Amino acid sequence: GDWMYRTIGGIDLDPAAPGYKHVIIAPRPGGGLTSARTSLQTGYGLLSTSWRIDGAGVALDVEVPANTSATVTLPNATADRARESGSPLAVGTGIRSTRQVGNDLVVDVGSGRYAFRVSR
């Protein structure tokens, strides 16, 4: 089950912030799967991810509990192709920073709900 949470769902602990104070969210779609949903009840509240692939691209919905933060990796994404709740990614409204790491876009967020979309 742990492998499914970390790899398919993308939820992983940050060793520098134990107890789910900060989490790493990095789903890796593939292997013929077109969607997955993962949730975990932490001491801070519900942590969840849901991703799906369709003809337009990849959607990733994330819920980060209150008083926590997350580093979200959008695989095979660039800032110009990524949106959050339909708007271009910008620092503010929970988004703390964005950076390109190889083929992936890494977004640091605070608590809240996020609806990321990466177009093809």
Q: Tell me: the pLDDT tens digits for 8-59?
A: 999 999 999 989 999 999 998 888 899 999 999 999 999 999 999 998 999 9
**Nearest C-alpha neighbor of 28 from the set 49, 54, 46:** 49
Longest dimension (CA), the chain: 38
CA distances from 12 to 68, 93, 119 (A): 14, 23, 25
- The Cα–Cα gap between 114 and 105 comes to 15
The reported pLDDT for the residue numbered 51 is 96
Q: Can you give the pTM of this predicted structure? A: 0.93
CA-CA distance, 27 to 23, in Å (whole number)? 12
Residue 42's pLDDT is 95
Q: Is the pLDDT of residue 92 over 80?
A: no
